[in-house]
Amino acid sequence: MKSKSRKVAIVGSGMVGSSCAYSMVNQAICDEIMMIDRTYDRAMAQALDLSHCMDFTGSRTKVYAGTFNDCAGMDVIVLTAGANPKPGQTRLDVLDDAAVITQEIVTNIMASGFDGIFVIAANPVDIVTYMVWKISGLPRHRVIGTGTSIDSSRLKTLLSDVFSIDPRSVNGYALGEHGESQFVAWSHVTIGGKPILQIMEQHRERFSQLDLEDIARKTKDAGWEIFTRKGSTHFGIGSALAYITRAILNDEHKIIAVSAILEGEYGLDGVCAGVPAIIGRDGIKELLELNLSSEEAEKFNASCSIIRAGIDRLQLAERITE
């Protein structure tokens, strides 16, 4: 009987990369995971540690260390290696360092003959995703950033506490930059299929203290709250990476808010931002254009302008090989 192994390489064996691998192992998302790191010993150690989980999981995942030269046969490459912000910095403040790291990594991966799908978490993720697209030469549907997937999950968790329901019964998105200019598209947030704005209107007394601006602020700042308390965020984003990868390998056609290259969607071109997309075996099957309110459309355009400014600051035409 013929079979095709589902192979994933994770570049970066730190907290995010190892959390992603751990999620994949426990969910039996793929058949093989190759760990890659600047320090080969760390990749090897993580692979060994993860391989010792197999006696306790429902199925066996082969985990091993590798190099960029081994990437040709991978279905998905998860890119987590990047620059971490220092206290007081934003994600955009590490852009120059991230550009150097990304250029080297993607160039080496493509030299191996890789022809699969990139899933990117390295910050600033929207701009790094754009860079990976330009450097790799792959079609835009095969270059996906985690974008506002984690922010949308944080939003659902916050609302689940307010309404005392399961987060999976909340549907809605944070859009735009995975960063300071992101916003919540409240006109599209529903609970059990019912618009939240309608719920608040019909039950004014019950939800009179609910401040949507405060919820949006907490959504945006959640990552920084974690980062300042323990120095990293990795379980949530590691799970988001596994979730996106599973949607690809299982051809799930799942709608996820990811960093995607826009070519006419939302009236924008040549920029990458967090928007809902249908994810399947070929990567992004389709981008969903939400009918945003005028205020939301203004916020989205402003957020994309910040992302575009970051792209322009890198002078991509000179620094990235077309």
> Tens digit of pLDDT for each residue in 43-96?
999 999 999 999 999 889 999 999 999 999 999 999 998 766 665 656 666 777
Q: What is the pLDDT of residue 89?
A: 57
Tokens 């939400």 -> residue = 290
Residue 194, classified by CB atoms within 10 Å of its CB into exposed (0-12), middle (13-18) or buried (19+), is exposed
Strands 7-11 and 32-36: parallel
Tokens standing for 272?
């990458």
Q: pLDDT tens for residues 89-116? A: 566 667 778 888 999 999 999 999 999 9
105 contacts 118 by C-beta, under 8 angstroms: no
Q: What is the pLDDT of residue 95?
A: 77
DSSP class of 84: P
- What is the spatial distance between Cα 202 and Cα 23, in angstroms, rounded to a whole number? 40
Residue 250 CA to its chain's centroid (Å): 18
- What is the spatial distance between Cα 113 and Cα 173, in angstroms, rounded to a whole number? 36
Q: What is the pLDDT of residue 1?
A: 37
Q: What is the pLDDT of residue 2?
A: 46
DSSP labels for 237-301? HHHHHHHHHHHHHTT--EEEEEEEEEESGGG-EEEEEEEEEEEETTEEEEE------HHHHHHHH
Q: Which residues are annotated as a binding site for NAD(+)?
A: 12-17, 37, 42, 82-83, 121-123, 146
Q: What is the pLDDT of residue 219?
A: 95
Mean predicted confidence (pLDDT) in 281-296: 97
- What is the spatial distance between Cα 247 and Cα 237, in angstroms, rounded to a whole number? 15
Tokens standing for 197?
């704005």
54 contacts 24 by C-beta, under 8 angstroms: no
Regarding pTM above 0.85, the answer is yes
What's domain 149-316's architecture?
Alpha-Beta Complex (3.90)
Q: What is the pLDDT of residue 88?
A: 60
Q: pLDDT tens for residues 190-249? A: 999 999 999 999 998 888 888 999 999 999 999 888 988 988 889 999 999 999 999 999
- What is the spatial distance between Cα 266 and Cα 299, in angstroms, rounded to a whole number? 12
- What is the spatial distance between Cα 68 and Cα 43, in angstroms, rounded to a whole number? 12
Angle between helices 125-136 and 294-313 (to 10 degrees): 60
Mean predicted confidence (pLDDT) in 136-146: 97
Residues with catalytic annotation?
178
- Residue 89 phi/psi, 5° resolution? -90, 160
Kindly tell me if the per-residue pLDDT of 316 is higher than 70: no
Q: What is the pLDDT of residue 209?
A: 86
- What is the spatial distance between Cα 153 and Cα 174, in angstroms, rounded to a whole number? 9
Q: Which residues pair with 12 in a beta bridge?
A: none
Domain 7-145 -> CATH class: alpha beta
Q: Which residues pair with 275 in a beta bridge?
A: 258
Query: Residue 144: pLDDT band by 50, 70, 90 thresholds?
Result: very high
Q: Which residues are annotated as a binding site for substrate?
A: 91, 123-126, 151-154, 233
Kindly tell me if the per-residue pLDDT of 303 is higher than 50: yes
Amino acid 90 reads T
Q: What is the pLDDT of residue 224?
A: 86
Q: Which residues are annotated as a binding site?
A: 12-17, 37, 42, 82-83, 91, 121-126, 146, 151-154, 233
- Among 21, 11, 32, CA closest to 241: 21
- Among 315, 248, 22, 272, CA closest to 123: 272
Tokens standing for 201?
């209107």
Tokens standing for 24?
């994949």
In the chain, where are the structural domains located? 7-145, 149-316
Q: pLDDT tens for residues 8-25? A: 999 999 999 999 999 999
Q: pLDDT tens for residues 148-186? A: 999 999 999 999 999 999 999 999 999 999 999 999 999
Cα dihedral sign, 201-215-284-243 = negative
Q: What is the pLDDT of residue 200?
A: 92
